[in-house]
Structure 1
């Protein structure tokens, strides 16, 4: 198998240009899917027979919660690649993913609290899944803090990678917590094998919102990775050539 494409994409200048071409498409597709998903879910979908209109927060909460786990796995995998093969691109992707993942984890927690108030009578309970999701947020914040604490970007990336890999054990705890322990949190609705637990007119907007969230996250991570590469490679030839291509309008310092 020819792996030339992989090595070429792993080059910072090649990835920078690839990300610049892909990011707008992901962003545009994400916005279109989000517009459909939110309109169909928040306006067109019928009320739930038990939760009434309170269930509609699912169209924000479920995609945010799903993405919070997926991005942590991506961050940990990028950290492993950075540790094993010392790839600058992997370091940049790992560092770029952490703030995006932290934002969606915080969104999942906040929307979960807002949903929990009418369902449980309280904004917060020390439920297994809520607690594990909070730990996930702390892990993201730990990676962000570690990266900022080091003057040497590569040393900081190694420390971040170790924390991300160790924290990976929390991901299955978040996902399977409702099955392993008695939990107030409801089980999976659509992210499971078999037929979804909700009707199609409720499920399709949720699928669209989930895909939209992944697209928008991809856009954000690609753009942040581009910025991280520019910062780390600011004294290299390709960055100076890029600044020249942009007519001298780009200044990296």
Structure 2
């Protein structure tokens, strides 16, 4: 039995090699594969090039043109492809505009070489190439003097005050604000209390203004509180407190003379506030 097993073991390799032949590689296989790859690559490039160049090339014809109105055929005649031409047409249709020849350089569809060729032929309507001194027309504007007017400073609005020679829009607004703060003007000279309106300007405008006798805004000095008097431009906060405290200690005021008892008030201040107070 042992002898039979040994014989079988020695016979297995011979039988396996007889029935299963191991194929050897063709020595020229690698060269054949490389040749096949080159052939396929050439076919691919040929196909791609043929697809990309389906549009026949045309000889460019340069001519004077306005890029804002040139149609697609015109762009193609200048040497652009149909795709490039359509890109520019889309730009102008969407509101894009060329203001000068240099604007062509901003179009990505136009190469630097093409831009150099087209630049000398660009003519944009209503856009002069440059400005010359002889083309400029200088218009000398003469100063228009304001006619003499008479304006009531107690009733005029800002437009009417602006008509006064020497009073512009800024001073007109300042006069209105100061009039409101006072409660009305009782003499022309109060205009010199308006910020920036000095005696020189006042002398220039005083003969152009009138003063109506309106009812001034008056505050009762015996019942007035701090907030009632704080808007008066002639009184400081310290003076207002002194007026109120003196009244609390000594009773009501009966006349402007009583205000002289408030030591912090001088005759000039009392004279100014008298038209705006009552007792």
The TM-score by the shorter chain falls in which range?
under 0.3
Which structure has more helix as a fraction of its residues? Answer: 1
For normalisation by structure 2, the TM-score amounts to 0.22
For CA contacts below 8 A with separation 6 or more, give which structure has more relative contact order.
1
